[in-house]
């Protein structure tokens, strides 16, 4: 678009599944400004998740509900899970109609720990890519949606406890302000607070940090799911080698090439992913290697089967000179999915009037303490639509809303030492608030993060704002993890290895610098 409007009805921040789906509903009621940190979706395969959890014809809502609740270790909101499953079929039918995919062959396959085959493929293509493509094309056809690429939100403007607009840096780094009646944050997760993550470089926790500063409640921040087998090579993105490989019979081997999962769980490589991640961490520690990793071995598979069943995995590994039909793939755990986030109701509404959230940035109650693999896309699709419908009922913004000059940010010189600070945050969070946690380690993390705060207090550039967002979110995660004195789901503490339902079968909520359980 040529320039940003001074005012619009609705702002959607993020052009992933949740943001695009919400924009489609909002366009029926008013003008929508869709903001994306980078370019509009271009469907690069490695930027999309490979699978989606959709009910097949022989599945049952109650079984899917049960699997999700069991994975969530007692902290799922059953009503939220039921909404996702029951409304998922309608959302899928819409996608098929919009994408004219009626002739597409859909196949459902089993993925741990599902009890039925629910992972949907679209003729071998990335399901996430197909969803994004369909939604993006639909949005492009809507005259009431304007898209601004390379826009970075620096502040959610509020007055009297309700949203009035946003401050941002546009594509050229120039401060801009837009008045609006409601905002949807669909900014994704916070994987970049860790030095090892499968998340894209844009996943700098912007939505969580913006919402928290605006007074929104955030919760369950201690629950971050780690993918156990991400490709581990120098100067190569942490590409996730999927659960399906282990479900099909892949082996995990340590530095001495011995299979080791049998020592940790009777299911071996088919054990729950959080247990596998901890087992790999232990094996890496024992190896005392300078750059530790283990190996994923599929060399006993039929080569043709790998190329046909896992074309994206095969092609990606080949691009980095690893032929997985003949070579062992070096892997290690990496942060994959933010399970907590901005607390919302079943319509994406937060405790701040006019502020909504959907997708990975939101804590809807679907995932609880541990995500059932592949539920993320379905959650984003269903709750993006619900948030869009709910936002249409928000009173429209006043046409005489004026920009607040105090909210503008300078696009001055590069923040001093910002990359070094980002590296410190990521290393500290990975080592002390990662897969295995202890009180001493988390106390160290909180203390060091608090000492960094003055250096990040007045960001001047996009990267400076990202660093401030990473810093704040790392603190939220560390404080929440320290407050939960038990192990549950994706949160594992060496000093409290068991569940404590009496004290902690509750959700954590961060209020100021305190964490409470509700």
Q: How far is CA 30 from CA 23, 149, 269, 361, 397, in A?
A: 10, 20, 51, 24, 11
Contact (Cβ atoms closer than 8 angstroms) between residue 515 and residue 509: yes
Output phi, psi for 342, to 5 deg.
-75, 125
245/23 Cα distance (integer angstroms):
36
463/152 Cα distance (integer angstroms):
10
Residue 160 is encoded by which pair of tokens?
């009297």
Check 21, 273, 332, 484 and give the catalytic one.
273
474/487 Cα distance (integer angstroms):
19
Start-to-end Cα distance in the chain: 44
Residue with tokens 């928000």: 394
Residue 192 is encoded by which pair of tokens?
């970049």
Find out whether the peptide bond into 11 is cis, omega within 30 degrees of 0.
no
Q: How far is CA 343 from CA 143, 271, 355, in A?
A: 32, 30, 11
In this structure, the number of other CB atoms found within 10 A of the CB of residue 135 comes to 27
3-state secondary structure (DSSP) of residue 219: strand
Q: State how beta strands 182-185 and 355-357 pair.
A: parallel
Burial of 156: CB neighbours in 10 Å, binned 0-12, 13-18, 19+:
buried
Q: Which residues pair with 353 in a beta bridge?
A: 162
Burial of 162: CB neighbours in 10 Å, binned 0-12, 13-18, 19+:
middle
Residue with tokens 């960001």: 459
Q: Which residues, other chains included, contact 318 with Cβ-Cβ below 8 Å and sequence gap of 6+? A: none
3-state secondary structure (DSSP) of residue 132: helix
In this structure, the number of other CB atoms found within 10 A of the CB of residue 94 comes to 17
Sign of the dihedral defined by the CA atoms of residues 393, 399, 401, 402, in that order: positive
Q: Which residues, other chains included, contact 248 with Cβ-Cβ below 8 Å and sequence gap of 6+? A: 298, 301, 309
Q: Is 273 a catalytic residue?
A: yes
Burial of 282: CB neighbours in 10 Å, binned 0-12, 13-18, 19+:
middle
DSSP code of 41?
P
- Provide the annotated active-site residues: 273
């Amino acid at each position: 678009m040529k320039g940003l409007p001074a005012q619009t009805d609705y702002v959607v921040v993020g052009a992933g599944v949740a943001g695009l789906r919400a924009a489609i509903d909002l366009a029926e009621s008013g003008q929508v400004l869709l903001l994306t940190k980078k370019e509009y979706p271009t469907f690069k395969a490695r930027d999309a998740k490979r699978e989606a959890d959709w009910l097949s014809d022989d599945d049952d809502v109650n079984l899917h509900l049960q699997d999700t609740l069991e994975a969530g270790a007692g902290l799922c909101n059953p009503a939220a899970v039921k909404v996702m499953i029951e409304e998922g079929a309608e959302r899928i039918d819409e996608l098929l109609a919009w994408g004219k995919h009626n002739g597409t062959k859909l196949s459902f396959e089993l993925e741990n720990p599902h009890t039925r085959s629910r992972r949907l493929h679209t003729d071998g293509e990335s399901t996430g890519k197909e969803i994004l493509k369909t939604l993006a094309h639909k949005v492009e056809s809507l005259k009431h949606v304007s898209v601004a690429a390379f826009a970075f939100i620096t502040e959610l403007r509020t007055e009297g406890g309700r949203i009035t607009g946003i401050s941002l840096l546009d594509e050229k780094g120039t401060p801009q302000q837009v008045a609006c009646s409601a905002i949807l944050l669909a900014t994704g997760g916070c994987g970049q607070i860790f030095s090892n993550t499968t998340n894209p470089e844009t996943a700098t926790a912007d939505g969580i940090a913006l919402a928290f500063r605006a007074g929104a409640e955030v919760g369950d921040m201690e629950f971050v799911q780690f993918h156990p087998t991400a490709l581990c090579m120098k100067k190569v993105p942490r590409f996730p080698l999927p659960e399906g490989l282990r479900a099909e019979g892949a082996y995990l081997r340590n530095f001495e090439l011995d299979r080791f999962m049998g020592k940790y769980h009777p299911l071996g490589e088919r054990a729950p992913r959080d247990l596998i991640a901890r087992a790999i961490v232990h094996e890496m520690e024992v190896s005392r290697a300078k750059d530790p990793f283990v190996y994923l071995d599929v060399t006993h598979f039929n080569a043709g089967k790998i190329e046909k069943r896992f074309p994206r995995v095969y092609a990606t590994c080949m691009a980095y000179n690893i032929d997985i039909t003949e070579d062992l793939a070096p892997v290690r755990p990496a942060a994959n999915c933010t399970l907590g986030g901005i607390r919302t109701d079943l319509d994406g509404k937060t405790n701040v009037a006019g502020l909504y959230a959907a997708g990975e940035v939101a804590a809807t109650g679907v995932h609880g303490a541990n995500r059932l693999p592949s539920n993320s896309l379905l959650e984003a699709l269903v709750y993006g639509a619900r948030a869009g419908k709910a936002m249409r009922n928000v009173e429209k913004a006043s046409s005489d809303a004026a920009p607040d000059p105090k909210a503008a940010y300078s696009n001055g010189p590069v923040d001093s030492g910002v990359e070094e600070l980002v590296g410190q945050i990521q290393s500290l969070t990975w080592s002390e608030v990662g897969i295995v946690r202890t009180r001493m380690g988390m106390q160290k993390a909180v203390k060091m993060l608090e000492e960094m705060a003055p250096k990040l207090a007045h960001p001047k550039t996009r990267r400076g704002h990202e660093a401030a967002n990473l810093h704040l979110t790392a603190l939220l995660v560390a404080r929440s993890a320290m407050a939960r004195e038990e192990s549950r789901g994706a949160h594992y503490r060496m000093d409290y290895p068991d569940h404590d339902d009496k004290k902690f079968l509750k959700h954590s909520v961060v209020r100021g610098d305190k964490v409470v359980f509700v």
